[in-house]
Structure 1
Amino acid sequence: MPQFQKEAVGQNQKLLALIQTLADSRQATPAQISLAWMINKKPWIVPIPGTTNLGRMKENGGAADIVLTPEEVQHIDDALDHVAMSAVFCGTAVEKK
Structure 2
Amino acid sequence: MSVDALLPIIIQVISGVVGGQAVGAAIKTAAMGQLPKLLSGAIGGVAGGQILGALLGGGGAAADAATGGGLGGLLGDVLGGAGGGALLTGIVGAVLKNKG
The question of a shared fold, defined as TM-score above 0.5 by the shorter chain, is answered with: no
Whose RCO is larger (CA < 8 A, sep 6+)?
2
Q: TM-score when scaled to structure 1?
A: 0.29
Q: TM-score when scaled to structure 2?
A: 0.28
Structure that is richer in helix per residue: 2
